[in-house]
Chain A
Amino acid sequence: MNQPRILIFACKWCGFIGADAAGKKRISLPSRFRVIPMECASLVETDAILRALAGGIDGIAVLGCHIGGCRYNNANHTAIKRLELLQDLLDTTGIGSSRLLLSFGTAHEDYQFEEIIKNFFDELTLLPPLDPWL
């Protein structure tokens, strides 16, 4: 069975807190994901996501704060718009937007983080592995 690899860009104020809380509760999670904490979801560069996909990482998740709850004066709004455009681009190129998970305001709690990770794993397991280009 395909063993997907996931890279998570987690906003320090939301997704990362969820990841940390899941750790504190010792919730058992699949191990093939790596979290990179970011100051804000708006710091996630589109090139970084493309580079990760080209490097053979099967799925990228960007976890940010909910709309209207950004610590940086709604910086996450622009991030959502930009990353949704990137999803369109991924669809156009055939990589598929399902490899880029955008989730804003839904990973703040431990169980929410758990659910997101597990569902994303299940989804990616059905997709063929991405061959690394780089």
Chain B
Amino acid sequence: MANISVFLCKCFGEIDNTINFDFLREELSKDPSVVLISIVDSLCLETDIEKTVSQIRESNSDKVLIAACSTLSRGNLVIESLIKEGVERHKIGLVDIREGCAWIHGDNPEDASKKAKDLINMGIAALQHKDMSDDMSVTVHPNALIIGAGPAGLAAAMSLARTGFKVNLLERSKVPGGMLKLISRCYPDNDDASNKLGPYLREVENNPLITFYPQSKITSVEGDTGNFTVHFSFQEKDSFIQAGVIIVATGAKIFFPTGLYGYGEIKNVINQMEFERQSLNGSLETKKPVFIQCVGARNRERPYCSTICCPISLKNASRIAEDIPGASVFILHRGIMTPGNTLEKYYRDTLSSGVQFIRFEEEQPPRIIGSDYVEAVEVYDAITGITRKIETDLVVLSTPLVPNNDNVQLAEMLDIEVDRYGFFSEIYPMHPLETKTDGIFICGSARWPVSSDHSILQGKAAAMKAVSYLRQSKIAASTLSRVPGLKSGHARVVPESCTGCGNCVAACPFDACHIEKLEGRYISIVNMMKCKACGSCVSVCPNGTMQIPEHNYRMVGEMIKMAF
């Protein structure tokens, strides 16, 4: 039994107005493990901290229990101040007798005093068994690995390189640029894609900190935050890189709507990418184009909105309406999606340029007239209820972006997650661009279809998040917390009693546990860099081998015993 000194805070009358402190002192003095009972007016002021620390030093106590306000008020401040003064974290306990007792039972002082006594007894019982987690740290490789050299990857590479970190930029194809290479202009400013891409391409070429690996493919990933080893084939040779962080900017791919509206069979039914290609090489000839929106999107199979197809159609439609005299341009849509501060104006500008909009319903899609050449499109206008026949020479299908085929494979290698469509998913809530594994970030269309501007924005944001890891020379596992402050601990296995059943492996939401053969038998090993101390493994462990030392089953058991 550890000797415990108890500090009771009156909070200048806030607590002792309700709770009888003489009764508490009397009850506490019966406990043999309590060596010091100190009743003070307040604990959270600076002078009080000094006084408290000197009292702890003078008394013969191993651990300190503070009965004051809750951790969310000023309790944490007291704890942190004590730690600063040299008291170890796991030797401090805090009991909330203000918010959790005095303030909610102000009408019943007698019961409140009894409850305070029970709460303090629970605190003492818990503190007796409170232990400290192990910690580990990893030396950080001060360089980043970026997968994909599209706008997002290029922007991330440029930001990181200009911050002074070495960047390895991996790309599947021969040249950087991604999808921006294939299109002519970008919305909403109608700037040439090559203008947008130029500075980034020049940076890749000229900045010595950026190493570009074209035609490369990742084969396996090992290691943890700050110390990833990525094996990849580079121009058909095996190679590897050690990196502190990984930024996934693999983008998405275009959906080819084979079989829909005669695509693939009829010559003048093309998709937006083909339209971009034709306008890039100057072969585009149309006076009466019809754009059909939501082809293969917002349906049962792909219920999501790809967000970029509406602005793309607006861009291409207004371009033809403005550039070609006498052109008649139609957009057949199921609701135009133009969110944000610039796109709504873009929509209105397109309207005033003479482009006509017709809304159709999912159940009654437009019909193509013509078997090897489309002469007209018949559409039921959902607003006026009139079926209209529109003469055309080109039908452009707006298709959504869909995830790359190897996303699932890559996600498995990196230990991150994909959503139900196959895009990489970030960890929820409040952790944009961050994934299940610390130090791996996602940005651009790999995460969700976004415009080039947003890809660049996200790439830069991911780079800045990466800097917070790269600037450290060593990363301690306890600092890899998703929330402000330190982690509450790490799960710990007792190797002697672990049976290697694997329940913890199945339960861990962060894939921190794995089974290893050690001295002839299987036991569970916890990777502290991944463990977030949620306790999922603890509650499925059949024999209590897996514990979080700061919150172990003995503490909970003793607290339950002392609860009433």
Chain A interface (Cβ < 8 Å from any Cβ of B): 5, 7, 13, 16-17, 19-20, 22-24, 26-29, 31-32, 34-40, 42-48, 51-52, 55-57, 68-69, 71-75, 78-79, 82
Of B99, B483, B533, B548, which one neighbours A19 at CB under 8 angstroms? B99
Of B72, B482, B488, which one neighbours A20 at CB under 8 angstroms? B72
Bound together, the chains give a CA A79 to CA B119 distance in angstroms of: 26
Is B63 an interface residue when CB atoms closer than 8 A count as contact?
no
Bound together, the chains give a CA A20 to CA B72 distance in angstroms of: 7
Is B561 an interface residue when CB atoms closer than 8 A count as contact?
yes
Instruction: State how many angstroms separate the Cβ of B95 from the closest Cβ of chain A.
Output: 11
Question: How many B residues have CB within 8 A of the partner chain?
Answer: 49
For residue B482, which residue of chain A has the nearest CB?
A71
Bound together, the chains give a CA A19 to CA B96 distance in angstroms of: 11
Verify A78–B99 contact, CB threshold 8 A: no
For residue A23, which residue of chain B has the nearest CB?
B99
1/0 per residue B501-535: CB within 8 Å of A?
00000010110000000000000000000001111
Instruction: State how many angstroms separate the Cβ of B508 from the closest Cβ of chain A.
Output: 9
Write out the residue numbers on chain B whose beta carbons fall within 8 Å of the beta carbon of A45: 538-539, 553, 556
Verify B99–A24 contact, CB threshold 8 A: yes
Bound together, the chains give a CA A40 to CA B131 distance in angstroms of: 19
Bound together, the chains give a CA A7 to CA B563 distance in angstroms of: 8
Bound together, the chains give a CA A46 to CA B535 distance in angstroms of: 13
Verify A48–B100 contact, CB threshold 8 A: no
Bound together, the chains give a CA A59 to CA B563 distance in angstroms of: 13
Verify B560–A55 contact, CB threshold 8 A: yes
Write out the residue numbers on chain B whose beta carbons fall within 8 Å of the beta carbon of A47: 553
Bound together, the chains give a CA A43 to CA B99 distance in angstroms of: 24
Bound together, the chains give a CA A32 to CA B70 distance in angstroms of: 19
Is B557 an interface residue when CB atoms closer than 8 A count as contact?
yes
Bound together, the chains give a CA A16 to CA B106 distance in angstroms of: 20
Verify B560–A38 contact, CB threshold 8 A: no
Write out the residue numbers on chain A whose beta carbons fall within 8 Å of the beta carbon of B107: 28
Bound together, the chains give a CA A78 to CA B535 distance in angstroms of: 11
Write out the residue numbers on chain B whose beta carbons fall within 8 Å of the beta carbon of A46: 539
Verify B99–A48 contact, CB threshold 8 A: no
Known A7-B560, A36-B556, A43-B538; judge A26-B103 contact (CB<8 A).
yes
Verify A43–B104 contact, CB threshold 8 A: no
Write out the residue numbers on chain A whose beta carbons fall within 8 Å of the beta carbon of B563: 5, 7, 34, 52, 57
Is B240 an interface residue when CB atoms closer than 8 A count as contact?
no
For residue B562, which residue of chain A has the nearest CB?
A34
Write out the residue numbers on chain A whose beta carbons fall within 8 Å of the beta carbon of B539: 42-46, 79, 82
Write out the residue numbers on chain B whose beta carbons fall within 8 Å of the beta carbon of A38: 535, 551
For residue B110, which residue of chain A has the nearest CB?
A31
Write out the residue numbers on chain A whose beta carbons fall within 8 Å of the beta carbon of B112: 31
Instruction: State how many angstroms separate the Cβ of A103 from the closest Cβ of chain B.
Output: 18
For residue B488, which residue of chain A has the nearest CB?
A39
Is B427 an interface residue when CB atoms closer than 8 A count as contact?
yes
A-B pairs with beta carbons under 8 Å apart, 28 shown: A19-B99, A19-B100, A20-B100, A22-B104, A24-B73, A28-B104, A31-B114, A34-B119, A39-B548, A39-B551, A42-B507, A42-B534, A42-B536, A43-B548, A45-B539, A45-B553, A46-B539, A48-B556, A48-B557, A51-B557, A52-B563, A68-B428, A72-B510, A72-B532, A72-B534, A72-B536, A73-B427, A73-B436
Most chain A CB within 10 A, of B72, B115, B118, B483, is at B72
Verify A34–B115 contact, CB threshold 8 A: yes
Instruction: State how many angstroms separate the Cβ of A25 from the closest Cβ of chain B.
Output: 8
1/0 per residue B84-123: CB within 8 Å of A?
0000000000001011100111111001101100110010
For residue A68, which residue of chain B has the nearest CB?
B428
Of A23, A39, A44, which one neighbours B70 at CB under 8 angstroms? A23
For residue B481, which residue of chain A has the nearest CB?
A71
Is B559 an interface residue when CB atoms closer than 8 A count as contact?
yes
Verify A36–B559 contact, CB threshold 8 A: yes
Bound together, the chains give a CA A37 to CA B556 distance in angstroms of: 10
Verify B551–A23 contact, CB threshold 8 A: no
